[in-house]
Chain A
Amino acid sequence: MPRTRVSLRATVALWMVPTVLLFFGSSWWLTQVNVSQLADSAYDRTLDGALRAIEANISLQSGGLGVDLPYALFASLRTTSKGTVYFRVTSADGLVQIGDAALPQPPDLKPNETHFFDAEYLDQRVRIGALRTTLPAPLYGAGQAQDVIIEVAETAAPREASLELIANAAFWRDVVVTGLGLGLMILGFGAALRPLERLRQRFDRRDPSDLSLLDEDQLPVEVRPLVQSFNALLLRHAALAGAQRRFLDDASHQLRTPISVLRMQLDHALQTADPADREETLRAMRGVIERSARTTAQMLALARADATAIGQAGDQVDPARILSEVARLHLQGARRKRLVLDLDLPETPLTVPAHETLIYEALSNLLDNAIRHSPMGGTIQLSLTVQDGSIRFGITDEGPGMSAEGLARLGERFRSDGGHGLGLALVQSVARAHGGRVIAQNRDGAGLDVQLEISRANADFTVPVTDL
């Protein structure tokens, strides 16, 4: 069952939509991540500055832990970030705590480690910078200097607002770029499909009987093989149509004359009172009927040959055997005219791809012609020669040969010159079906030399276009 085919546009869209979405999504996501990292690092630097300022303002001069808080810095921080600033200084032992008492705790820090993290404070998201630093001297006589943890936090809302601004800009930029890209792609795809559309119109405008080939010059390379295949199909159809037409022509042409002759003879036989005359007439009718029967057989073979030329490859056959069998078949007829059949076959066995029936029929026709045109007691030479890419069957008689005009129009049908016409047309068709040809020439002395050449290669049996 053939699957339902979607249009090329739909297929391209099906592939392009996820691709575009992927590009769009990744671009947007990367922008988000990059921008938020950039913004974080920029904002974190100011937090870091505040941390360092507080650290610098820690004083142990009194023997206690005094911190002069840099309110001016906080104020400028608050002004620039448009948010709220929080801070806390805690000694690691928990005794001292200055600043926003409920500010979230930082994770465990190593001495001199600065850490930035997001947290929630007073129902707002805040960005907190935390620094752990060791006091320059121990407090209240402890064994070693205590650590203090300094935290500075600011509300994340202004930072997020600016991030959102950038993200929105990036989003709309991506939307516009993607939209433009899609638009261009749709236009481009339409342009790419236009030759196909024109091709369709050419098909639509075509006359039903027009079997001429399509011109592929102006088509895109991707479409050419399709058109070439189509042209080949067209050729085969034209050939087949031609073959059928010829068969009909041949049949009507060949049968019309004998039928009218037979009608006249029949009328004569019915009218004559002389029994001897009637018998003679009936005998004459028999000859006409036999010739008509032969003609019919030839026409059927010819039709088959024409159809085969459009069709398939043949089997591997032995041409020498076919020639011998044809000779044996016509031995009786030759003997009646006391003819000598001289058979010359190659010594090495060989096979060629061919249709045995067609070759047989063609050779039979040629030999039949030769016998009929040979003088009493003559010689007919039958030969098979092997060449590089082909083999040749040769049939040579000692008859009167053909007129120059006959030779020139070899193989044309209805050139009714005593049976040569239809037979040679058949031979021509068989030769073509096997990628070969027919060469006919008059011999120097007297007689006709006909060569049937067929290709040894597994011919594709394509009929040359010009022949049709």
Chain B
Amino acid sequence: MKRCWLGLVLLLAALLPGMVQAQSVTASAPEDQTSCIAPAQPEGGFDLTCRVITEALKAAAILPRPMQRSFLPGGVGAVAFNAMTGPRAAEAGTLVAFSEGTIYNLVRGSFGDHDIGDVRWLAQVAQDYGAIVVRADAPWADLPALLATARENPQSVAFGGGGTIGGQDWMRAAMTAELSGIDRRKLRFVAFEGAGSCTEALLAGFVQACMNDVGDTRTAMDAGKPLRILAAFAPQRLPGALSDIPTAREQGLALDWPVMRGVYMGAQVSDQDFALWQARLERVMASPEYAQILRRYHLQPQPLTGAALRDEILGMAQDARDRLARLGTS
């Protein structure tokens, strides 16, 4: 398959001599130096996205060299988004992880003067669900217990999450508070650069609950972190190994929070390179190894590309706008 793509490139180069130079530079880059950027601190959801992609690509042996994973924290994706719309907009070998939070932040304008059309959305590679996570030794047996404490003494429970006020994790915390009768203005929300940082603060006792996701939390627990998921914001229990996690709905909190695990590319990446990557990912996502990798990282399959992805993102943006309007935060 790889050869086939190379052949196509060479053919195009021959047909369009004026483009040879430029094409050869940009086309060679993805093969030599490819990387997946998690725009946060390690061990969060973005990191999980990149791990899935790099491992799946490796398993499929598409790239001559393994794809690198790198981190670009800052504003839960803001720094990376600004890089990919600015100085790094043309990097054909760079994929950046995003989530529904990225869409929320774009809609809110917290990435600066940018909107959804400023980058090229490549693919959704998996689906995850939001979770409320506490330390394994936390005193709360279930979600109502935690919320009862937060209702009685809002200052005693600090909720952590990726992104700041108006961001997706804050919004999840705020809606949880609202649905359970807690004044969200009294909610202490601590912003972090992704779930990994929040977990770190949780283990250090600096926050009492993290609005992390099921996949990254279970992955961290697999790595030995003493954590406990109080609830998953999924419509029903997740399949397989995750079926032991109670949903928020089961515990009286009618809130679903699907989390998108996807990647985008710089705005100035050529259609050709974009198509190349799209084809690669589509191929990978169809492989059995991919399903295995998703299971390992406790994610649900939800392969989306092209028009379907665009519709999904636009729908999500609309959701974000509605929810922001409802919470009165922009």
Contact = CB atoms under 8 A, between A and B. Distances in A.
Contact of B78 (A72, A95, A100, A123): A95
B75 A74 contact: no
A122 B186 contact: yes
Given A62-B72, A64-B72, A93-B112, 9 more contacts: A62-B73, A64-B74, A75-B206, A94-B110, A95-B74, A101-B191, A102-B165, A140-B80, A140-B82
Interface residues of B, number: 38
B62 interface: no
A67 interface: yes
A15 interface: no
Interface in A82-105: 84, 88, 91, 93-102
A121 to B, nearest CB: 9
B139 interface: no
Contact of A100 (B88, B186, B188, B197): B188
Closest 7 CB pairs of A and B: A141-B87, A71-B204, A65-B74, A64-B72, A95-B75, A95-B78, A97-B164
Contacts of A100: 158, 188-191
A123 B155 CA distance: 9
B79 interface: yes
B71 A62 contact: yes
A145 interface: no
A455 B131 CA distance: 121
A78 B154 CA distance: 18
Contacts of A72: 204
B170 A64 contact: no
Interface centre among A84, A95, A141 (most CB of B within 10 A): A95
Given A62-B73, A101-B164, A71 B200 contact: yes
Contacts of A62: 70-73
B104 interface: no
Contacts of A141: 82-83, 86-88
B201 interface: yes
Dominant secondary structure at the B interface: mixed
A139 B79 contact: yes
Given A62-B70, A74-B206, A95-B111, A123 B186 contact: yes
B164 A140 contact: no
Interface centre among B79, B80, B192, B197 (most CB of A within 10 A): B79
Nearest to B112: A95
B139 to A, nearest CB: 18
A69 interface: yes
B100 interface: no
B155 A124 contact: yes
A225 interface: no
A66 interface: yes
A63 B41 contact: no
A444 to B, nearest CB: 125
17 contacts: A62-B71, A62-B72, A64-B74, A65-B73, A74-B204, A75-B204, A84-B155, A91-B74, A91-B75, A95-B110, A97-B164, A100-B158, A100-B188, A122-B154, A139-B79, A140-B82, A141-B86
B205 interface: yes
B47 interface: no
Interface in B67-111: 70-75, 78-80, 82-83, 86-88, 110-111
Interface centre among A65, A84, A102, A123 (most CB of B within 10 A): A102
Contacts of A66: 41, 71, 73-74, 193
Interface string A39-75: 0000000000000000000000011111101011011
Contact of B73 (A64, A69, A75, A123): A64
A44 to B, nearest CB: 21
Nearest to B81: A140
Contact of B193 (A63, A94, A98, A123): A98
B73 A101 contact: no
A120 to B, nearest CB: 12
A95 B110 CA distance: 6
Nearest to B162: A98
B39 interface: yes
B74 A101 contact: no
Interface string B19-45: 000000000000000000001010000
B86 A140 contact: yes
B238 to A, nearest CB: 29
A211 to B, nearest CB: 89
A139 B186 contact: no
B112 A99 contact: no
A261 B206 CA distance: 132
Contacts of A122: 154-155, 186, 188
A64 B39 contact: yes
Interface in B147-206: 154-155, 158, 164-165, 170, 186, 188-193, 197, 200-201, 204-206
B102 to A, nearest CB: 13
A100 B164 CA distance: 9
Interface centre among B154, B158, B164, B205 (most CB of A within 10 A): B164
A84 B157 CA distance: 12
Given A64-B73, A95-B111, A101 B170 contact: yes
